[in-house]
Structures are given as C-alpha cells and as structure tokens.
Amino acid sequence: MGSMIRAETFPEEKRRAFLEAFSELPQRVLWKWEGDELPDQPNNVLTQKWMPQFDILCHPNIRAYIGHGGLLGTLEAASRGVPMIGIPMLGDQFNNMKSMEETGMGLVLQYKDITKNNVLQALRNVLENHR
C-alpha cells in the first residue's frame, strides 16, 4: 500500500482477502510487507520490507500495481503504462484514482469493499482488460 499506509496494519479479514485472492493467480505477486513475516503467505507471493517502486514499475513483466492512489505512485504507474488498482484512504488519493479510472489506467477498490472476490475481480479486470 505504500509508505503512508502499511499493509500489516490492516485487519485480519482484509489481509486474508488479499492473500486468498493472490493465491488464485498464476502470476507472482510482490508485496511490500514491513512485518517480520506474513502469516499464511502463498507460494506465489514474495514479500520485502522495502522495494524500489519505480524500478519495479519499469520492469516489462509487471502487469498491475495495487496502491493507495498517492500522487507519486499514480504518476509512476501511468508513466509506465501499468494499470493500477487504487484503494484510496485520504486526501488527494480519491481524486488521483478518479483520474486513473477516467483514463482507463486504473480501478478503484474502496477499503470497505475489500473481500477476496472483489480483490480477485479487480485484479482479473486489469490483467485481462487493460487498454
């Protein structure tokens, strides 16, 4: 989720929704996880406490990016043509993700709507229908 919102502070049901959705994907998933370990981590999920976000977004195999929709992350994803799933939480994130949606560069997933099925649907949408 970025440096402002740490995924390990999510409630258990939100964390589990992501893990269960990720486990159904054929793709590998990189997850910035600042905790010591990620309980029930699927085999296709690699965690690191820090990752060079822009370098990763520049890699040709990156198919999607999930973040909170901050200005830097949305600009970096858009500049590299990487579709984004944004989970806006505060401030400019809502408008940034609205712009990403309007341009076909991203989808908004509201925090309150995070479930395994909604995460999986959003991922499949950007992976299969990216413009």
State pLDDT tens for residues 103-112. 999 999 999 9
pLDDT at 36: 83
For residue 92, count other CB atoms closer than 10 A to its CB.
Answer: 12
Among 130, 111, 26, smallest CA distance to 67 is for 111
Residues listed for the chain: 131
pLDDT at 87 over 90: yes
Is pLDDT above 90 for 7?
Answer: no
For 118, the 3-state DSSP assignment is: helix
Task: Give the chain's domains with CATH numbers.
Answer: 7-118 (3.40.50.2000)
The per-residue pLDDT for range 13-53, each reduced to its tens digit, is: 999 999 999 999 999 999 998 888 888 999 999 999 999 99
This model's pTM is above 0.95? no
Sign of the CA dihedral running 75, 5, 18, 37:
positive
Write down the pLDDT at residue 129.
Answer: 81
Region 98-105 average pLDDT: 94
Quickly tell me which residue has 């929704």 as its tokens: 17
Distances (CA, A) of 2 to 87, 102, 130: 11, 23, 23
* Mean pLDDT, range 66-92, rounded to an integer: 96
Cβ atoms of residues 47 and 38 within 8 Å: yes
